[in-house]
Chains A and B, each alone.
Chain A
């Protein structure tokens, strides 16, 4: 971690257009997973009006300063970076205080990200929902992007808008994460398939995350799934995304083979052998 690397930091925007599809969860889990792999990682909550990344990481009580104070030079960057307790390679930087909605401009974002990038291998920017000013600020410093969507018409449509904006900004590469995949519904064609979504959005898939109740449990606790690696389907998916981002060649998970409970597997077997339902 002390080794000085000459490689510039990877600055990745995590965005979706639509709210509630899993941007912040992905940012938190990727942050932990990358840090575990030895990457010095900073996650930046660009949604300072409605910030939540601190809550998902269990760091909500440890925020004293934000990027705002760093830029105003009322504190040093080290003071504003909140180090994760169990994963010292990971630090959180909130963009601003929810009470100060007006300060952040694209130039502010570029300045703060440039400062952070000097001491990091990965900078993950958690983008606010929407395609207005919040998005423009968050995207101002991004070199590459991950668009996250779910197999639902509204989420895919909004993702398409965001991809169009990223393309005009010259952000590249832009990769796709498909979240909340329900293998059973996909198998019965009652949900957009993986190929349907990649065909429509024409982006390479960097991750496939199955719908997983453990995500809710981990959010309740403020401990991202990748922290305790309990082997749930989503935890594995997030870890694999982190490794693919580092250039490792890991085949995409087959949603139909996602780890399920004994009962579900038994039912599946009965369904397959009898062909009844």
Chain B
């Protein structure tokens, strides 16, 4: 540690490099383990926000979708502060947009039927 680094740290302007190493590692390992590069993660983040926004109004500035790792288990963590729920008509429209306009009873059970086969 140089004197300059030491003063920087005293003034709280710079984290110790060991702490930086840990933070950088945690980030890079989350990507390594999930095989997602930052570009793909960004695309996924945008799509998740898009879907969520159909249902609730969220604060995009504050929103965050990231990969976190603990005990070798990587999790996709989304923290999306909700401003308010969308009014009901908008929700129906949103449901229609993802092909769920019909009540999901008859169609769904038909699709599920083959998997009930005892074989």
Contacts and interface: CB of A to CB of B under 8 A. Distances in A.
Instruction: Decide whether A and B are members of one complex.
Output: yes
| Chain B interface size, under 10 / 10 to 19 / 20 to 34 / 35 or more | 10 to 19
Contacts of A186: 18
B16 A189 contact: yes
Interface stretch (A48-56, A190-198, A222-230): A190-198
Interface stretch (A122-130, A152-160, A234-242, A263-271): A152-160
Interface in B20-44: 21-22, 24-26, 28-29, 32-33
A221 B85 CA distance: 74
B79 interface: no
Contacts of A247: none
A192 B18 contact: yes
| Chain A interface size, under 10 / 10 to 19 / 20 to 34 / 35 or more | 20 to 34
Contact of B32 (A152, A161, A188, A196): A161
Most B CB atoms within 10 A — which of A157, A200, A202? A200
B25 A157 contact: yes
Contacts of A152: 21
Interface string B78-111: 0000000000000000000000000000000000
A21 to B, nearest CB: 15
B71 interface: yes
B13 interface: no
A192 B71 CA distance: 17
B1 A196 contact: no
Given A160-B33, A189-B16, A190-B17, A200 B22 contact: yes
A185 B71 CA distance: 25
A189 B28 contact: no
A164 interface: yes
Most A CB atoms within 10 A — which of B16, B18, B32? B18
Contacts of A200: 22, 25-26, 29, 69
A188 B18 CA distance: 9
Given A157-B28, A202-B71, A192 B22 contact: yes
A188 B9 CA distance: 11
B19 interface: yes
The 9 lowest CB-CB distance pairs between A and B, nearest first, are A189-B16, A189-B18, A202-B72, A196-B22, A202-B71, A192-B21, A191-B18, A153-B21, A190-B17
Interface of A: 152-153, 156-157, 160-161, 163-164, 167, 185-186, 188-193, 196, 200-202
